């Protein structure tokens, strides 16, 4: 059994202690840089990216999140309700499908000496790392400042405790995973930590469902499959050598343009897909579509193994940038000290709504 399983396995009891604008980023990407990124992604999608960017072998520590429970309580209708339920231990599973229309955020918590480099990483890689907010001050776990124009910190997230308001957490020490799917991070948090909130693609799933395009994992009551890719991130300070992490939602070929149109407006929660089609699996460097690095394996329209339908127009893989990317970047960077984040699929749900984000994205 691994040290992770010994120290904080998925079946460990919850701690009883759980019951108790900041101006926009000045380093906005220049037109030349935006053009560069657009060209890079287009070349990736068209299969023209150099093989020099092939992804190194995946680390041995692949963590598969626990599946969500069915029959979600009807009380979990707002971000505040989900946070409270996570804090007191009454909700411990995936947040997919909860608090519909409320924005969900990925969480990464760093020692303050890495904060400036991390902000730059987000500015240089806005698709997989769209920065929404951060701790109001170093060490502050109950107040945030917003990086979104027109929304203040309290508009995004009011009464909260970042140490306890996520269903499950991951803890890294000296860039190694030491705790998995833990109930809280009260003991790990220090006055030197800074929390960053990154947009999450769960935020546009309500809009897809309302359009008659529910993501398959939401109807199957599983966690979205997540994969490492060979697309390199632009480096920033100590953060070098990392690659995009992507989430995948299968759709029919005839539905993809509508899916792109809907998700494009959610630019602060990853926006439209970065790639789609069966040929994209190889181009992105994904070895086995049936074996995601995180989350649950995808299924076909009839619930059988997705990979068995290679080339099928009714089962087409569609890939988005994913907020697990910052955690991967942290591990690649070899950071010293304690770093924390959400367990994949277990997000921090905010108080702002999807229409707030769409309006800001289109302004």
pTM of model > 0.85: no
Question: Residue 195 belongs to a domain with what CATH number?
Answer: 3.30.2040.10
53, part of any domain: no
- pLDDT of 33 strictly over 60: no
61, part of any domain: no
The pLDDT tens digits for 11-32 are 443 333 343 333 333 333 333 3
52, part of any domain: no
Range of the domain at 247: 75-362
Comparing C-alpha atoms, which of 116, 108, 267, 274 is closest to residue 198? 108
21, part of any domain: no
341, part of any domain: yes
Give me the chain's average pLDDT, please: 82
pLDDT at 47: 41
Separation between Cα atoms, residue 223 and residue 10, nearest integer Å: 15
The pLDDT tens digits for 164-196 are 999 999 999 998 999 999 999 999 999 999 999
Taking the CA atoms of 361, 298, 218 and 350 in sequence, report the sign of the dihedral they define: negative
Contact 266, 203 (CB under 8 A): yes
Comparing C-alpha atoms, which of 5, 295, 335, 1 is closest to residue 172? 335
Rounded to 10°, the helix 325-333/115-124 angle is 130
The pLDDT tens digits for 98-140 are 999 999 999 999 999 999 999 999 999 999 999 999 999 999 9
266, part of any domain: yes
pLDDT at 301: 83
Neighbours of 324 (CB within 10 A): 29
Contact 128, 233 (CB under 8 A): yes
Separation between Cα atoms, residue 115 and residue 140, nearest integer Å: 14
Separation between Cα atoms, residue 136 and residue 133, nearest integer Å: 9
Separation between Cα atoms, residue 203 and residue 263, nearest integer Å: 10
Q: Strands across the sheet with 243-251, in order?
A: 226-232, 243-251, 316-321, 275-276
> Structural domain tally of the chain?
1
286, part of any domain: yes
The pLDDT tens digits for 314-356 are 999 999 999 889 889 988 999 999 999 999 889 999 999 988 8
Separation between Cα atoms, residue 67 and residue 80, nearest integer Å: 22
133, part of any domain: yes
């Amino acid at each position: 059994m691994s040290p992770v399983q010994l120290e904080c396995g998925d079946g460990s009891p919850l701690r009883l202690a759980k019951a108790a604008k900041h101006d926009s980023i000045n380093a906005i990407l220049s037109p030349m840089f935006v053009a560069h990124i657009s060209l890079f992604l287009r070349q990736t999608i068209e299969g023209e990216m150099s093989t020099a960017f092939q992804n190194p072998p995946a680390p041995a520590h692949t963590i598969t999140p626990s599946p969500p429970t069915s029959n979600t309580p009807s009380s979990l209708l707002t971000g505040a309700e989900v946070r409270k339920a996570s804090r007191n231990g009454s909700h411990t599973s995936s947040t997919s499908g909860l608090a519909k229309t409320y924005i969900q955020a990925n969480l990464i918590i760093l020692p303050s000496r890495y904060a400036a480099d991390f902000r730059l990483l987000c500015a240089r890689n806005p698709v997989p790392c769209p920065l929404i907010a951060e701790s109001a001050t170093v060490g502050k776990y109950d107040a945030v400042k917003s990086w979104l124009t027109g929304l203040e910190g309290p508009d995004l997230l009011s009464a909260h405790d970042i140490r306890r308001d996520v269903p499950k957490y991951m803890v890294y020490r000296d860039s190694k995973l030491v705790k998995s799917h833990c109930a809280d991070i009260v003991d790990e948090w220090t006055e030197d930590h800074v929390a960053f909130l990154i947009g999450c693609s769960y935020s546009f799933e309500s809009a897809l469902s309302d359009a008659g395009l529910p993501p398959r994992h939401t109807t199957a009551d599983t966690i979205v499959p997540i994969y490492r890719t060979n697309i390199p991130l632009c480096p920033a300070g100590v953060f070098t050598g990392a690659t995009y992490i992507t989430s995948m939602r299968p759709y029919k070929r005839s539905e993809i343009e509508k899916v792109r149109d809907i998700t494009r407006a959610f630019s602060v929660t990853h926006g439209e897909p970065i790639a789609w089609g069966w040929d994209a699996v190889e181009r992105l460097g994904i070895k086995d579509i049936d074996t995601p690095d995180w989350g649950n394996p995808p299924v076909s329209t009839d619930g059988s193994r997705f990979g068995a339908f290679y080339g099928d127009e009714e089962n087409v893989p569609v890939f988005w940038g994913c907020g697990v990317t910052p955690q991967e970047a942290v591990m690649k960077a070899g950071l010293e000290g304690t770093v924390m984040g959400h367990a994949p699929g277990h997000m921090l749900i905010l108080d702002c709504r999807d229409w707030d984000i769409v309006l800001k994205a289109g302004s």
